Amino acid sequence: MEVTSRIVRGKEFKLLLSDVAGFNPDVIFLDGIHGGEVANQLSQHLNLLLVIRSHNIEHLYYKRKLASAKGLNKLKRYLSLSNLETYETNLLKNSTLFYDISLDDLNFWRSQGLTNGRYLPPLIEFHEENREAISRDKLSTNPVYDIVFLGNLFSDNNVAGIIWFITQVMPMIRLALPTFTVLIAGSNPVQHVRQLCEETAEVDLKINPVSSTEVYKSGRVLINPVSAGSGVSIKSLEMLVSGRPIVSTPQGIAGLPEEVHHYFEIAVDKSSFAEAIIRFLSHPFRDNVNPGVLEDLFGYKAIEGVISELDCLVSLSKSNQLAQAKS
């Protein structure tokens, strides 16, 4: 469904083709795989290189979402999976290059025989406020909440993680800490999340917060209780930039470079998750995040190699086209 709904045909495609030709691009750069049919047609009609930014192994991601979906959502997930694996594999295989957001996902595609993949981590803009947030000794000494989660509050995997944290982890925290506060923040909460937050005394719910930076600043400990997903968790990177201690499931560091793994306290079950939070709340924490490492890995430097590689490929492609025209 996500693929077929983005297909453009007839007059609409002719108009799009004319607009793109008028722009005279050097490359068709597709962000995500769902617009692949249109990108492929543009590439072929205009004889341009097709380059793809891959965010997930989509067919595996949708299989996991199908397993946790209920009711009408289950039917939607089932329809979304139809022929998705073949489509995704062929699209990436036939592209000039694809840049994967996740090292784990890139290794998966290499195991499937695809040799045209490269690693390009998610990029973070390091504004001055970000540098200040991760610099030592600049953490707020009086955060409003003890524990903070930020993420969308409607996707099946996030909802499952929130429910697990409130119903399974929080009772264990209560045994050690008689009073603590929790903020669950994010967009479009489903009714189950709303109700659970309302019924749990320690929990506040903030819907559609304006600033993720402010949300993270408001917590002493940041959490990622989500156990299913794909690609890279962008919220894990945002939490890193905040400089707060982070407790996460293993999924939270999936696809991230090993250089940043040690900044996360990884918990594999409810007991270790609760214990890590209790430890951070019971003892003073000093920020140990190296902003230089983060900027090298996820700042503008990461894309310099991509631009250089694409520039070489475009030059080679144009030279080949010119040689063919003369022959």
Indicate whether 136 pLDDT > 50: no
What average pLDDT does the structure give for the chain? 86
Do residues 247 and 222 lie in contact, with contact meaning Cβ atoms separated by under 8 Å? yes
All residues at 6 or more sequence positions from 195 whose CB lies less than 8 Å from its CB, including other chains:
none
User: Using one digit for the tens of pLDDT, what is the confidence trace for 5-38?
Assistant: 777 788 999 999 999 999 999 999 999 999 999 9
Mean pLDDT in residue range 154-181: 94
Q: Among residues 231, 229, 228, 252, which one has the least CA distance to residue 55?
A: 231
Query: Within 10 A of 301 (CB to CB), how many other CB atoms are there?
Result: 11
Mean pLDDT in residue range 225-247: 84
Specify the pairing of strand 49-54 against strand 219-224.
unpaired
Structure confidence at residue 18 (pLDDT): 94
Query: Within 10 A of 324 (CB to CB), how many other CB atoms are there?
Result: 8
Residue 209, by phi and psi: left (phi above 0), alpha (psi -120 to 50) or beta?
beta
User: Using one digit for the tens of pLDDT, what is the confidence trace for 179-203?
Assistant: 999 999 999 999 999 999 999 999 9
**Domain spans of the chain, in order of start:** 4-123+300-326, 128-284
Indicate whether 58 pLDDT > 50: yes
pTM for this predicted structure: 0.76
**Minimum mean pLDDT range among 113-122, 189-198, 288-297, 309-318:** 288-297
Q: Among residues 303, 322, 316, 314, which one has the least CA distance to residue 101?
A: 303
- Show the DSSP H helices in 53-145 as ranges: 58-68, 72-81, 84-94, 103-111, 128-134
What's the CA gap between 206 and 124, in Å, rounded? 24
Query: CA torsion, points 14, 16, 17, 22, in degrees to nearest 10?
Result: 130
CA dist 310 to 99, 107, 204, 318, Å? 11, 22, 47, 12
Q: Say yes or no: do domains 4-123+300-326 and 128-284 share a fold.
A: yes
- State the CATH class of domain 128-284: alpha beta
What's the CA gap between 117 and 99, in Å, rounded? 6
Indicate whether 89 pLDDT > 90: yes
Q: Which CATH superfamily is domain 4-123+300-326 in?
A: Glycogen Phosphorylase B; (3.40.50.2000)
Query: Within 10 A of 3 (CB to CB), how many other CB atoms are there?
Result: 19
Burial (0-12, 13-18, 19+ Cβ within 10 Å), 273:
buried
Mean pLDDT in residue range 263-285: 93
